[in-house]
């Protein structure tokens, strides 16, 4: 039996284009005499459809698309992920399902059993879990079909049962798992371990087909895999690209001695993920042009390079917005970068605008000390100017804040925190530097002066980030342990961090949740990003 894995990029609710993409892949597979083609979880609707699932008309559109797809499954069978109505009177009205289609008919519908409700997942909100387990019989082969989380209980046992423990008793020949497994730079190692543990436990090969593409902040890397019976990766599909791979079932039974896999290192993964995230955000919202403020600092420099690579220099516009506190070398670094990567730029000096604001506010501020209000005023002036350009010329403003700043509230609401998309919001400051150096690995793209100088917001004379924050090497280690690893005050001090510093940082994280709720969506590259996967109350009084 010839089997095709169709790792494709779907748009949520774009039934016409999703359906056509599936039909096109089916017809291409038929030309190659393929007998079974496999698509990812909820391929018809796109993943995650979220509250669109509450509309019957949305589900009806899914099923109409399924009917159209079925008409092309004559000499070929297809496994297609879709939401499906629950015919029973009890429970949720929907299943997360995989339809097995052959001879222009839906022969079988397999429902997802294990419904995740952690991090970015909220499937219990919409779907009824499966309680019935059957194999698919096709061409003399018995297929154990599962959906994403159904095979993960072998890694972290959140659930009381595992579908494969039931299905294996029916003597399947192969496991097939269709998935919408999100990217993080460490996640594919976990995935590989899960897949291999399943093969080792059940002693049959496994075919895994994952989504690819970005759905706002959630990124899907694809990296679909075929695991042979002896637990070796027979093939891994592309990361961050659509890919289709066809194999003969007999290949799965060979004891392969080496694995056909090339895993990029962390910075390459993050680079490619962010490029895909930017591209898909613009493509799926029908945006074409981006605008951003270019300060000469590391965050805006890295963001500009990523935008240029994702969208093309002709679709990016940079504005230099120096104030009386902007250093000459920062302005020069910004100009050098824009010219080096051919991004058009203009300069608007905000000194006179600031002086006008200052004059208007003087009667009300007279007698008050100059401080953070005046610093933030510069940032907000820049945001107003950038948004004016955005409105007038149709650019989307891109945010340049990093995760360290977002964590401790080191940013200005309605100022540098503005934007339609946060590109670096899931990268700590130290990771921003690492990625910048990675980009400069073969030749200088980002000026080395930008990378090597001390970071500063340049909102007052001789300002440095270290004036109000610990060095980023220390700060980021505390933040990673608190945000990603869930270590509290006592655990962090046990690790050797200064208790005074730890208390200050943890309180800053907790007390600045209100700011993060007003931030743009963040492209997720870690296991715990700010946004959809991290839920904290705004008004909590949890102090350390």
Which domains can be identified in the chain, with CATH numbers? 2-256 (3.60.110.10), 270-516 (3.40.50.620)
Q: How many helices (H) and strands (E) would you count in the chain? A: 16, 19
Q: What is the mean pLDDT of residues 30-36?
A: 96
Query: Model confidence over 67-121: pLDDT tens digits?
Result: 999 999 999 999 999 999 999 888 999 999 999 999 999 999 999 999 999 999 9
How far is the C-alpha of 383 from the C-alpha of 402, rounded, in Å? 17
Work out the end-to-end distance of the chain between its first and last CA atoms, rounded to an integer number of angstroms.
61
pLDDT at 25 over 80: yes
Q: Which residues of 116-144 are buried (b: 16+ CB within 10 A; e: fewer)?
A: beebbbbbeebbbbbeebebbebeebebb
In the predicted structure, residue 265 carries a pLDDT above the cut 90: yes
Distances (CA, A) of 173 to 98, 135, 358, 391: 18, 10, 75, 58
User: Is 473 known to be catalytic?
Assistant: no
Average pLDDT over residues 496-500: 96
Contact 422, 519 (CB under 8 A): yes
pLDDT of residue 88: 87
pLDDT at 327: 81
Query: pTM score, two decimals?
Result: 0.95
Task: State residue 454's pLDDT score.
Answer: 83
Token pair of 543, please?
């102090």
Instruction: Give me the percent of the chain exceeding a pLDDT of 90.
Output: 88
Summarised one tens digit per residue, pLDDT across range 250-262 is 999 888 877 877 7
Q: How confident is the model at residue 526 (pLDDT cuts 50, 70, 90)?
A: very high
pLDDT grade for 153, boundaries at 50, 70 and 90: very high
Q: CB-side exposure of 533: number of CA atoms within 13 Å?
A: 25
Give 416-462 pLDDT, tens digit per residue. 999 999 999 999 999 999 999 999 999 999 999 999 988 877 777 77
112 catalytic per annotation: yes
Cross-strand bridge partners of residue 320: 347
Torsion region of 102: left, alpha or beta (phi above 0 gives left; psi -120 to 50 gives alpha): beta
Q: Does the annotation count 265 as an active-site position? A: no
The confidence score (pLDDT) of residue 107 equals 97
Is the predicted pLDDT of residue 480 greater than 90, yes or no? yes
Rounded to whole angstroms, how far apart are CA atoms 313 and 311?
Answer: 7
Using a pLDDT cut of 70, give the percent of the chain over it. 100
407 pLDDT higher than 80: yes
Which of 62, 148, 225, 232 is the catalytic position? Answer: 148
Closest Cα partner for 180 from 19, 46, 44?
46
Compute the Cα dihedral for 334, 339, 345, 346 and give only its sign. Answer: positive
Task: Quick: pLDDT tens for 332-387.
Answer: 999 999 999 999 999 999 999 999 999 999 999 999 999 999 999 999 999 999 99
* Residues in a beta bridge with 147: 178
pLDDT at 330: 86
CA angle 34, 40, 42 (to 5 degrees): 130
Mean pLDDT of the 186-209 span: 96
Residue spans of alpha helices (H) in 32-141: 56-70
- Report residue 72 as tokens: 């092309």
Q: Collapse the DSSP code of 33 into the 3-class scheme (helix H, G, I; strand E, B; otherwise coil) and give the result.
A: coil
Under DSSP, the state recorded for 441 is S
Please state, rounded to an integer, the average pLDDT across all residues of the chain: 95
Q: Predicted confidence band at 17 (pLDDT cuts at 50, 70, 90)? A: very high
**What pLDDT sits at residue 411?**
93
How far apart CA 57 and CA 13 sit, in angstroms, is 11
Q: Which of 21, 35, 41, 405 is catalytic?
A: 41
Average confidence (pLDDT) over 209-225:
97
- Select which of 73, 99, 112, 232 is catalytic: 112
pLDDT digits (tens, 9 = 90+) for 107-151: 999 999 999 999 999 999 999 999 999 999 999 999 999 999 999
Instruction: Tell me the C-alpha distance between 229 and 247, whole Å.
Output: 14
Burial bucket for residue 259 (CB in 10 Å: 0-12, 13-18, 19+)? middle
Sign of CA pseudo-dihedral 513, 517, 518, 520: positive
On whether the CB atoms of residues 334 and 295 are closer than 8 A, the answer is: yes
Q: Which residue has the higher pLDDT, 156 or 383?
A: 383
């Amino acid at each position: 039996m010839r089997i095709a894995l169709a790792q494709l990029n779907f748009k949520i609710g774009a039934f016409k284009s999703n359906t056509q993409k599936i039909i096109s892949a089916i017809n291409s597979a038929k030309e190659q005499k393929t007998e079974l083609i496999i698509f990812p979880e909820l391929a018809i609707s796109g993943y995650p459809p979220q509250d669109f699932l509450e509309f019957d008309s949305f589900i009806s559109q899914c099923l109409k698309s399924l009917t159209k797809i079925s008409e092309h499954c004559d000499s070929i069978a297809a496994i297609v992920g879709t939401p499906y109505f629950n015919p029973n009177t009890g429970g949720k009205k929907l299943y997360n399902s995989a339809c097995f289609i052959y001879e222009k008919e839906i022969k079988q519908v397999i429902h997802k059993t294990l419904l995740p409700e952690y991090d970015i997942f909220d499937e219990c909100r919409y779907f009824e879990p499966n309680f019935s387990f059957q194999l698919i019989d096709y061409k003399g082969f018995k297929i154990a079909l599962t959906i994403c989380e159904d095979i993960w209980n072998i890694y972290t046992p959140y659930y009381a049962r595992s579908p494969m423990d039931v299905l294996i008793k029916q003597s399947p020949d192969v496991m097939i798992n269709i998935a919408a497994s999100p990217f993080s730079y460490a996640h594919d190692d976990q995935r590989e371990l899960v897949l291999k543990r399943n093969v080792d436990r059940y002693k049959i090969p496994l075919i895994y087909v994952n989504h690819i593409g970005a759905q706002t902040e959630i990124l899907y890397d694809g990296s679909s895999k075929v695991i042979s019976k002896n637990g070796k990766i027979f093939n891994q599909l592309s990361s961050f690209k659509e890919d289709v791979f066809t194999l003969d079932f007999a290949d799965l039974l060979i004891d392969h001695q080496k694995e056909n896999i090339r895993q990029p290192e962390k910075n390459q993964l993050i680079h490619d993920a962010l490029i895909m995230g930017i591209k898909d955000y613009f493509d799926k919202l029908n945006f074409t042009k981006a605008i951003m403020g270019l300060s000469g600092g590391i965050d805006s420099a890295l963001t500009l390079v990523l935008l240029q690579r994702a969208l093309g220099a002709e679709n990016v516009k940079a504005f230099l917005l120096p104030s009386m506190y902007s250093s000459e070398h920062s302005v020069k670094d910004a100009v050098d970068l824009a010219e080096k990567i051919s991004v058009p730029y203009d300069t608007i000096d905000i000194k006179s605008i600031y002086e006008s604001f200052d004059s208007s506010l003087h009667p009300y501020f007279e007698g008050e000390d100059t401080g953070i209000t005046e610093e933030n005023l510069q940032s907000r002036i820049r945001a107003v100017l950038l948004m004016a350009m955005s409105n007038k010329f149709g650019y989307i403003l891109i945010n340049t804040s990093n995760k360290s700043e977002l964590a401790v509230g080191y940013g200005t609401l309605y100022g540098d925190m503005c934007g339609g998309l946060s590109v670096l919001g899931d990268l700590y400051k130290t990771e921003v530097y690492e990625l910048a150096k990675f980009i400069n690995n073969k030749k200088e793209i980002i000026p080395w002066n930008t990378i090597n100088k001390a970071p500063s917001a340049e909102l007052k004379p001789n300002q440095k980030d270290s004036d109000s924050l610990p060095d980023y090497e220390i700060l980021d280690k505390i933040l990673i342990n608190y945000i990603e690893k869930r270590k509290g005050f006592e655990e962090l001090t046990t690790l050797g961090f200064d208790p005074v510093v730890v208390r200050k940082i943890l309180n800053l994280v907790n007390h600045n949740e209100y700011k993060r709720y007003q931030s743009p969506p963040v492209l997720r590259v870690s296991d715990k990003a700010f946004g959809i996967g991290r839920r904290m109350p705004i008004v909590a009084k949890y102090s350390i």
